[in-house]
Amino acid sequence: MPPRLPDKLYFKIGEVGRIVGVKPYVLRFWETEFDLLKPGKAPSRHRMYKRKDVELLLEIKRLLYVEGFTIEGARKKLRENKKEERQQLKLALPDAAYKNALAKIKKDLQSLRKLLS
């Protein structure tokens, strides 16, 4: 079971290292190897990781240390997962667009009804 993340928006590199269970230099190395990983920088130029970055790092660690993937293999697996997520979103989007269109029609009909009353 992955560690429970603190309820915060941003994490410093030391915190992320403790959560993920690796040294900060490993995190910096993974940043160079995985395009999906792009932590922001604070005005003080310190790395600031978002919650999604920490979740991605936990997934990278799982792929490398538990599943035994190479860096290249983990990179490919993460790209595949991202592609699957996009396709699932694409499939779900028409339903959402349909519901939004129906809601707009309903609202327009209610406005028209008020005008006619």
Domains of the chain from N-terminus onward: 10-86 (1.10.1660.10)
Write out pLDDT tens, residues 15-26: 999 999 999 999
The pair of structure tokens assigned to 38 is: 């792009």
* pTM of this structure: 0.72
Give the C-alpha separation, 109 to 116, whole Å.
Answer: 10
Give the C-alpha separation, 89 to 101, whole Å.
Answer: 18
The pair of structure tokens assigned to 46 is: 């310190």
Write out pLDDT tens, residues 31-79: 999 999 999 998 999 999 999 999 999 999 999 999 999 999 999 999 9
The pair of structure tokens assigned to 50 is: 């978002």
The SS3 call for residue 46 is: coil
Give the C-alpha separation, 107 to 109, whole Å.
Answer: 5
